[in-house]
Amino acid sequence: MTRPASGEAGPANPGPGRANPGPASSSAGPANPAPRPGAGRTRRRPILRRLCASVLVFEAIVLILAVPVAITIEHLGHGVAGGVGGGLALAAVVLAGLVGRVRWALIAGTVLQVLIIVAGIEVPALYVLGVIFAAFWFTGIWMANRLEQASTG
C-alpha cells in the first residue's frame, strides 16, 4: 500500500481539521461511538409538527392582516402596529419551523398565544383572535398527543 502525498488526505494524513482515526483494530465497534443524530433535541413528532405549525402559520397571516385594521380602526401608529403585529407574526413563523423539533418550542408557542391575547389591550380584536388561536393551539397539542399515542400503541 502506498502512502498518499503530503497534501492528500488518507489514513496516515487525514488532512486539516480532521482527526487521525488511529491504527485499524479488529474490534467490532468504534471506541468512541458517534453521538446520535438530534442529541439535545426532542424526539421527532410529525403529527404535532404539522398541527401546531399550521396553527402558527395561519396565526401569522391573521396578525399581518390585523396591522391595517389596527392603523385605520384603532388609530394606532404605523410603527407600533407594524412593529407589534410584524414581530408577533415573525415569532409565529419562526416557531412554526421549530415546533416538534426542539423541546422549548411548545412553551414558546404557548407564551406567544398569551402575548397575542395581551396585545388585545391595544387592538381589542386581538382579544378574540388570540383566544380563538389559543384554543386551536391547545387543541392541536391535545390531538397530536392522542394521535401519536394511538399510532404507537
Query: Look-up: residue for cell 404535532?
Result: 48
Residue 38 is assigned to a structural domain of this protein: no
Chain length of the chain: 153
Query: Look-up: residue for cell 396585545?
Result: 119
Residue 153 is assigned to a structural domain of this protein: no
Average pLDDT over residues 111-130: 91
Other C-beta atoms lying within 10 Å of the C-beta of residue 134: 19
Residue 128 is assigned to a structural domain of this protein: yes
pLDDT tens per residue across span 41-90: 556 788 999 999 999 999 999 999 999 988 998 888 999 999 999 999 99
Cα–Cα distances (Å) from 99 to 20, 26, 47, 136, in that order, read: 38, 43, 11, 15
Residue 137 is assigned to a structural domain of this protein: yes
Residue 113 is assigned to a structural domain of this protein: yes
Residue 25 is assigned to a structural domain of this protein: no
Range of the domain at 142: 46-148
Q: What is the pTM of this model?
A: 0.69
Cα–Cα distances (Å) from 106 to 52, 110, 111, in that order, read: 9, 6, 9
Residue 95 is assigned to a structural domain of this protein: yes
Residue 33 is assigned to a structural domain of this protein: no
Task: Pull the grid cell for residue 28.
Answer: 467490532
Number of domains comprising the chain: 1
